[in-house]
Chains A and B, each alone.
Chain A
Amino acid sequence: DAGVIQSPRHEVTEMGQEVTLRCKPISGHNSLFWYRQTMMRGLELLIYFNNNVPIDDSGMPEDRFSAKMPNASFSTLKIQPSEPRDSAVYFCASSSSHVEETQYFGPGTRLLVL
């Protein structure tokens, strides 16, 4: 198995632009998580999907952030408009079971908003 796949690996954009991050979970996993990692705040859960349905989006910072999971093999995290404070590493993770079980992380997308 290729593991969790994320794209792009790096993204540099200017403030105000739309950013779309993509994730392909491990085949057969029914839970998908988006995390954000910064030096100041550590690793934060943004949103959690189970069977393609958003279960917990309480970590989504504000309305500028949105996430979708149109099918079991694809999810997107969109930031529109982007701001410099959104600069971080965004990780996607998937799990075959419940939230508290083992999660498998992708390599991350390093986002820099100028």
Chain B
Amino acid sequence: SQQGEEDPQALSIQEGENATMNCSYKTSINNLQWYRQNSGRGLVHLILIRSNEREKHSGRLRVTLDTSKKSSSLLITASRAADTASYFCATDAITGGYNKLIFGAGTRLAVHP
């Protein structure tokens, strides 16, 4: 199983609603990041939260981190059609003796006008 796993795999909402995506991970981390990927494009960094932080805001984004539960959530408030994209969490993990950034499988968000 993966270091970071998002839930749900897909989410469909109406414009104006809030969207919540969750990420769970398995090992201790230094930080956790959320990225967005529009169809056919590269990933874009949204927000980074460090292991000693519990909550972070950036515009309409709110990220929480619970290291005791090894989980994080990304909340997008007042969603817009332009928020339609895949959202990935990424955590650092040591595998094979190397520190890597491990990406989850992503949550596909569809925001309908």
Q: Is the CB of A102 within 8 A of B41?
A: no
Interface flags for A37-66 (1: CB within 8 Å of B; 0: not) read: 000001101001000000110100000000
Partner of A43, one of B30, B33, B95, B103: B103
The answer to the question of A105 belonging to the interface, with a C-beta cut-off of 8 Å to chain B, is yes
Q: Is the CB of B96 within 8 A of A100?
A: no
Interface residues on A, range: 20 to 34
Q: Is the CB of A102 within 8 A of B45?
A: yes
Q: Which residue of the partner chain A has the closest CB to B92?
A: A100
State how many residues of chain B have any CB contact under 8 Å with chain A. Answer: 26
Partner of A56, one of B31, B45, B98, B102: B98
Name, among B29, B30, B41, B43, the residue most crowded by chain A CB atoms within 10 Å (CB to CB): B43
Q: Is the CB of B101 within 8 A of A45?
A: yes
**How far, in Å, is B99 (CB) from chain A's closest CB?**
5
CA–CA, A93 to B37, complex, Å? 14
Query: Which residues of B are found within 8 Å of A102, using beta-carbon distances?
Result: 33, 45, 48
With A100-B31, A102-B33, A107-B41 known to touch, is A55 a contact of B98 (CB < 8 Å)?
yes
**How far, in Å, is A18 (CB) from chain B's closest CB?**
24
The answer to the question of A91 belonging to the interface, with a C-beta cut-off of 8 Å to chain B, is yes
Q: Is the CB of A99 within 8 A of B92?
A: yes
B1-19 with Cβ < 8 A to chain A? 2
Query: Which residues of A are found within 8 Å of B100, using beta-carbon distances?
Result: 45, 48, 56, 99
CA–CA, A106 to B27, complex, Å? 28
**How far, in Å, is A95 (CB) from chain B's closest CB?**
9
Query: Which residues of A are found within 8 Å of B98, using beta-carbon distances?
Result: 48, 55-56, 58
CA–CA, A53 to B83, complex, Å? 37
Give the 10 A-B residue pairs with the shortest CB-CB distance, closest first.
A100-B92, A105-B42, A56-B98, A43-B103, A105-B43, A58-B96, A99-B99, A102-B45, A100-B30, A107-B42
Q: Would you list 17 pairs from A and B whose C-beta atoms are within 8 A, ordered by A residue?
A: A43-B43, A45-B100, A45-B102, A58-B95, A58-B98, A91-B43, A99-B92, A99-B99, A99-B100, A99-B101, A100-B31, A100-B99, A101-B31, A105-B43, A107-B41, A107-B42, A108-B41
